[in-house]
Amino acid sequence: MERDAGRARVDFVLGDCHATSCDKTVIARAERALRDLGYAVARNTPYSGGFVTQHYGRPGDGLHALQIEINRALYMDESAIARGPGFAVLAERLKTLVRVLGDVAMEFARA
C-alpha cells in the first residue's frame, strides 16, 4: 500500500481527463482544499478519469465531472477488509472538500 510502481503513493488522485471534463477552477479548488488538509495530491496520474468523467464531463455546457481516487490506506484495513483507524478522520475531512466543491458550483450558478 505504501508504494505504487516504485514511487510513494499519494493520498488522492484527481482526474479531469487532462483538463477536458471540468473547468480548471474545479480541480484547482479541490486540490488546494485537500493539500490544505495535509494530503498528498496528484492530478491525472495514474488515473485521469474513467467512463463517467469522459462521457458526462462537458464543462462548455456547464457539466463538470471530477474523478476522485482515495488511497485505501487512509480509511481501510485491507487485511481485515474493514474500516481502518483513519476512517472517521477522513470522513470528517471530506466534508471540507464537499463544501469547497459546493461553493464552486454556487459560483458557477451565479455567473
Strands (E), 9-88: 12-15, 41-43, 67-70, 76-77, 82-83
Q: Can you give the pLDDT at residue 79?
A: 87
Range of the domain at 90: 3-110
Give me the number of domains the chain comprises. 1
Q: Can you give the pLDDT at residue 4?
A: 53
How does pLDDT run across 36-62, given as a tens digit for each residue? 999 999 999 999 999 999 999 999 999
Q: Can you give the pLDDT at residue 6?
A: 57
Q: Can you give the pLDDT at residue 11?
A: 97
Residues in the chain predicted with pLDDT less than 50, given as ranges, are 1-2
Looking up residue 13, the CATH number of its domain turns out to be: 3.40.630.40
pTM of the model: 0.89
Q: Can you give the pLDDT at residue 5?
A: 56
Q: Can you give the pLDDT at residue 111?
A: 83
- Measured CA to CA, the distance from residue 15 to residue 46 in angstroms comes to 9
Q: SS3 for 43-100, per residue? A: ECCCCCCCHHHHHHCEHHHCECCCEEEECHHHCEECCCCEECCCHHHHHHHHHHHHHH
Q: Can you give the pLDDT at residue 78?
A: 87
